[in-house]
Amino acid sequence: MLPMLTSMILVQYGASVLAIVCPQHLYPEDQGLTHAYAAVDALLSVVQQQNCSVILVTDSSISTLASLELWSSWGVAVFMVAESDHDSNVTQAQLCLVVDQARRNRCSVYIYLPYCPKGSPALQLASWTPTRGLVLTSHLPLFPDKFFKFIKRPTLLVASEEFQSQRAIMVADPDSPGSQRLSFVGAISEIIEYMATQANFSITYVRPPDRIWGNKRKDGSWSGMMGMVITGAADVALGPFGTTSIRSEVVDFSWPVNIDYLRILGGRGHQEVDPWSFLLPLTPLVWAATLAALLILSVMHDLLSSWFNYHAMKRHMSSTDNLSYIRILLQQDLLVPAYWWWEKLMLVVWMMAALVLTRSYSDSLISLLAVRNIPEPYESLRDVLDDSSVTMISQESSILSQHLQTVESGPFLEVKELEKVGRILYVPLGEFSRAADELVRPGHHVLIDITVNHRNLVAQDFSRTGRCDFYLSRETFLGFPFALIVKKNSPLAPMLFKR
């Protein structure tokens, strides 16, 4: 039935063109015809013969037949099949008659290949004659998937920029200006090169003029690689880009190549002796449990003394006996003998527990005193917010800066307020190494970015200096999937998604 048509086909028969248009229920408000006219215009603009004609097969809902006058000099034939509201068999029979009339023509089927140079001719796929029927004239099927694997190897513009795990290089290329062309080395560039091999396209790398990933400006435009993809200056941008709701309105994301979180990178302090280090071998819970055990032993001792009806004697001896448990914990001698079996049992059990506890404490304390303490003061975002002497460094046009533009509550609203007092410094990603060396290492700045960038920065700094002067916070926040991007509704998106 005609409403089941799902595509628009352009064919040139002899010197004629046939356009089969999908029905109006797929393209409301005559958009189907609008697309058909544009497609036929594109094909006729490169056809050399001047005696072509146009045939449209559609339903009876055409309301803009006047537009066909554009091709009146070429010859126009319109086949209409009205859909029956009562009997679908009638529509089917009428469609068969129209198709039978169309089959009496000689025609050829052409296809335009995507991302080919402007002015490239259409590729002939098949021909139709009333005697021979449909004959394929190439190795391709009649309706090939033009985007899953490109038939001809086009060149796609890929936007990328340097960061800790992605390095820009110049490679020899005699066909490029200066016999060199831009390339990148890193994990993300390997992904797009794998896709290029699988989908049969070549790559030309381009860099954003402002050297940033891209954020939305106040006038609604976008900067960086985001802006290049939106305006068509690049077909794909590597990034990788954090997937946010604002970005998803203007670009399409591939499947995530990574999921990462923001963390704080701080400079380690100098070695120092902590005057409270004698408390560190045991955790607060162990200290509390030890004090609770002493209290419980004292209470049990008094209760058992009362139970055996030695009130007078125990009133005189209870304070001395209770202190015996503390003397054992402090590894002192025991002066008061135990008279009863239950006293001996309690003392033996407590001696064994105190022996394990004191041995563990003494060994751990020796280790702590042998190694000096290196302070790491900023373990959470709250630590940074509460210290007015520290300045935060973040990537320019990053997901954090984009998030701060829309935040309305919570700790990130406090971070947004720090911009007003100059406690946030935005730098390009390529300047992170210099910022870490000159600002973060002394301790008066911290660097906030995704974990993978921090780890690469710390590894490169250790390879260069042989020291470990930085640390990562225990707290993570603002987790995002990271992916490649293409223009919104780009036909490249399904290709990237599938791979």
Which of 165, 158, 163, 200 lies closest to 183 in space, CA to CA? 158
Q: Is residue 62 over pLDDT 50?
A: no
- pLDDT per residue over 457-470, tens digit each? 888 888 888 888 89
Share of the chain above pLDDT 70, in %: 74
pLDDT tens-place string over residues 373-407: 777 888 888 888 888 888 898 887 777 877 777 77
Q: Mean of the pLDDT values across residues 126-140?
A: 82
* Tokens, residue 365: 């304390």
Distances, alpha carbon 187 to alpha carbons 11, 218, 394, in Å: 44, 33, 23
**204 and 158 in contact (C-beta within 8 Å)?**
yes
| pLDDT bracket for residue 2 (50, 70, 90) | very low
Instruction: Determine whether 493 is exposed, middle or buried from the number of CB atoms within 10 Å of its CB (0-12, 13-18, 19+).
Output: buried
Q: At what angle do helices 399-406 and 411-418 cross, to 10 degrees?
A: 100
pLDDT, tens digit, 9 for 90 and up, residues 304-325: 777 665 544 544 444 456 677 7
Lowest mean pLDDT among 95-109, 247-261, 278-292: 95-109
- Rounded distance, CA 13 to CA 403, Å? 57
Domain boundaries defined on the chain: 2-136, 155-257+486-498, 279-370, 381-485
Whether the domain at 155-257+486-498 and the domain at 381-485 fall into the same CATH topology: yes
Encoded tokens for 126: 């098949």
- The class that CATH gives domain 381-485 is alpha beta
Question: What is residue 469's three-state secondary structure?
Answer: coil
Tell me the CATH number for domain 155-257+486-498. Answer: 3.40.190.10
pLDDT class for 21, splitting at 50, 70, 90? very low
Report the pLDDT value the prediction gives residue 206, as an integer from 0 to 100. 92
Q: What is the pTM of this model?
A: 0.60
- The sheet with strand 123-129 has its strands ordered as 76-81, 54-59, 16-20, 9-13, 107-111, 123-129, 133-136
